Chains A and B, each alone.
Chain A
Amino acid sequence: MSSSTTEYGYNSKVEGEVIVTKADAVINWVRSNSVWPMPMGLACCAIELMGSGGSRFDISRFGMEVMRFSPRQSDCMIVAGTVTYKMAEVVRRIYDQMAEPKWVVAMGACASSGGMFRSYATLQGVDRILPVDVYISGCPPKPEALLDGMMLLQEKIRREPATKTLLRPRPSRIVDTKVVA
């Protein structure tokens, strides 16, 4: 008979201190709950990104509070802001320096599509130079929207065939979108 104090989870007395599961599940569990973002803050979206790190929204509830300004220590680039053509090379170079596996979140209208900056100087969507996993709408998106997008990314990470690609570099996923004239 179960009482309110019964533990339904892992019970070492029953299981014998052994957990049986799939490698994919374990790897993805680890990866999705310790996403270290690379804050690529380029415009006002970065302010909302900072707000997400604060106590009110608290991105650390999802294991993402460790924002690393070194690409070598981070695995999710959050492109927060307007990417100009002059900056595009820099963004791509930082992405190239991140260790696999890595993911990209396009935060806000500018990073997703160029936003309202339809001009000669602005890259019309960061997906022209980076393989974007999650797009977040908004100008800028509220921290709730960012958290929602990051939770979507977590779900996406959990579906990945991690074991198959563990020792293999993932193929370059960049597709340069063609604009129909």
Chain B
Amino acid sequence: MSATDTVSSLQSTLLARFSYLTPRSGSADHPAVNVPAENLVSFATALRDELGFDMLTDIAGADWDQESPRFAAVYHFVRTAKCEYLRVVCAAPDDVAPSIPSLVALYPSANWFEREAHDMFGIDFAGHPDLRRILMWDSYPWHPLRKEFPLAGKETDIPSDDQIEGARTKVRPAPLAGGPFVATPGKTMHDGEPHGKDQSWNETQPKPTR
């Protein structure tokens, strides 16, 4: 039995057993299924207790911009006994105030993953015991990995418990001359160094409209 057969057999087994699952096409490596938010906890419970998926290695947030449902959480479960991965995608029903049930009670590793997805995408993981920001500071008003958020950032106050006299700076949009700095392997060291793709504009000279 080849690896591809294992992938498809696991996916078909899951699809046959859990009627609420839908297959997720386009996965090149691991079997992938979509699960509705209301069935996520019961599905994860079955994965852990009955199917031997004893490890949750990652939760990634996703923002599909104009599509609906807009926000999703992508889970990677591992069956360590067979070294098998399973990708589970759970879309948030609400596009404006996205909410997905928390898996912390089932998998303790979900704690920080969910905090990160909450921080970066603003997804509310219902039932999380301590849903604080994990990367940005607590008073930060935005969710930086949402599609509408500019990479350069937006102006806001820096975190400070008591305004320090000397540090009266603010978060300001970063000068993104030429877009994000990209390192491209080149013939010479100079070509390979990180630089913007388009150097024709900078913080004083506006970006030309196309």
Contacts and interface: CB of A to CB of B under 8 A. Distances in A.
A176 B167 CA distance: 8
Contacts of A86: 135-137, 159
Contacts of B158: 85, 88-89
B166 interface: yes
A89 B159 contact: yes
B204 A124 contact: no
B194 to A, nearest CB: 4
A26 interface: no
B55 to A, nearest CB: 30
A121 B136 contact: yes
- The prevalent SS among residues of A at the interface is loop
B147 to A, nearest CB: 14
Interface stretch (B94-102, B104-112, B173-181): B173-181
Interface size class for chain A?
20 to 34
A41 interface: no
Interface size class for chain B?
20 to 34
- The prevalent SS among residues of B at the interface is loop
B166 A172 contact: yes
A127 to B, nearest CB: 10
B127 interface: no
* Max count, chain A CB within 10 A of own CB: residue among B149, B154, B165, B174: B174
A114 interface: yes
A180 interface: yes
B166 A95 contact: yes
Interface string A147-167: 000000000000000000000
Contacts of A72: none
Interface of A: 85-86, 88-89, 92-93, 95-96, 114, 116-124, 128-130, 172, 174, 176, 179-181
Interface of B: 135-137, 144, 149-154, 158-161, 164-169, 171-176, 180-181, 194, 203-204
20 contacts: A85-B137, A85-B159, A89-B158, A92-B167, A114-B174, A116-B181, A118-B152, A118-B174, A118-B176, A119-B180, A120-B150, A120-B154, A120-B173, A121-B135, A122-B174, A124-B172, A128-B167, A129-B166, A172-B165, A174-B166
List 4 tightest A-B contacts by C-beta distance, closest first: A120-B153, A92-B167, A129-B167, A118-B174
